[in-house]
Amino acid sequence: METAPSSVSCLPHTAKMSKAKKVLEEAREIRNPELDLFDKGVSTFEEMPGLLNMTNVTRLTLSHNRIRSIPPGLANLTNLEILNLANNQIQELPLSLSSMPKLRILNLSINRLDTLPRGFGAFPVLEILDLTYNNLKEDSLPGNFFMMQTLRALYLGDNDFEKLPPEIKNLKNLEILGLRENDLIELPKEIGELSRLRELHVQGNRLTILPPELGNLDMASNKAEFRFEGNVWVPPILDQLNLGISHLQDYLRSEAYRITYNRYLTNKPPVPPPCVDKAKKISRLR
């Protein structure tokens, strides 16, 4: 492959490539199941020969590369528990990925995903799914997306959601839900059924009111972190937020708020315009 250095511009690329190969060779030699292949200038899996046969691998970290597509054969790595593809250029995922039997942590943040494959929600043991900084919205999600009962953390920040499907309530084990800087207009009341939720990021959306059911969650515990800044809250909510999260929680649980909330529902205020300019997002690049 690397013959005579005919062109100088080719050299850095060749050097990077050999770096990835070197990592693989070393890992094979010492049977290291954790592969650090981040920032290796990799564009395709062809540049990492033999990788898809290394079935002993438990962690594969490919962050900071230029990978555009994932081969279905990646699912051969049946012992893989952690797959990190953060900061690549992935636009599409193979359906096979969700069949990986041991995959617990999947990081697809900072990519270019507009959609997820059908059946994506079939991961048997997925616990942490990071889809931060893509181009996803409610329509991009496959029908079985909220069937991932093992999910502990779902990061959807920096995407294009306007609404969160009420099926979110099916993620019974969810502790962390990231929705920072989407285009959310409202939150479903079903979010109040996520009894284990202790982290909620909804900063930088277009929210005006909160469902009273959110008050069911233990927002004020010292293990909880609920972030609401950067929305267009109605004054009563903004007032409580300024007083502190426990005030907001008490208010959401109050009869007074139930009345206020119902009035807002029947008398819907105009939807605020998107407040985050996402034109410069590199996830938009094609």
Q: What is the footprint of another protein within residues 130-159 (CB under 8 A)?
A: 130, 132-133, 152, 155, 157-158
User: Whole-angstrom Cα distance, residue 286 to residue 22?
Assistant: 31
Contacts of 37 (CB under 8 A, 6+ apart): 20, 23, 24, 48, 60, 61, 62, 65
Token look-up 């059908």 returns 118
| 40 counts as binding another protein under rule CB under 8 A | no
Question: Residue 178's beta-bridge partner residues?
Answer: 155, 201
Reduced to 3 states, what is the DSSP secondary structure of residue 25?
helix
Binding mask 241-270 for another protein (x = CB under 8 A): -xxx--------------------------
16 binds another protein (CB under 8 A): no
Place of tokens 């590199």: 282
Residue whose entry in the numeric block shows the structure tokens 């996803």: 136
| Residue whose C-alpha is closest to residue 54's, from 21, 87, 14, 13 | 21
Out of 159, 203, 240, 249, the only residue in the binding site for another protein (CB under 8 A) is: 203
Q: In terms of Cα–Cα distance, which of 123, 131, 74, 118 is closest to 103? A: 123
C-beta closer to another protein: residue 95 or 105: 105
CB nearer to another protein: pick between 84 and 261: 84
Our CB check for another protein shows the closer of 146 and 155 to be: 155
Given the rule CB under 8 A, which of 49-57, 69-77, 101-109, 162-170 is the region that contacts another protein? 101-109
Q: Tell which residue, 170, 263, 185, 251, has the closest CA to residue 215.
A: 251
Q: How many residues bind another protein (CB under 8 A)?
A: 48
The alpha carbon dihedral of 125, 96, 61, 284 has a sign of negative
Nearer to another protein, 182 or 212 (CB): 182
Indicate the residue among 155 and 261 with the shorter CB distance to another protein.
Answer: 155
Q: Does residue 182 belong to the site contacting another protein (CB under 8 A)?
A: no
The binding site for another protein (CB under 8 A) comprises 34, 36, 38-39, 59, 61, 63-64, 82, 84, 86-87, 104-105, 107, 109-110, 127, 130, 132-133, 152, 155, 157-158, 176, 178, 180-181, 196, 198-199, 201, 203-204, 223-225, 227, 229-230, 242-244, 276, 280-282
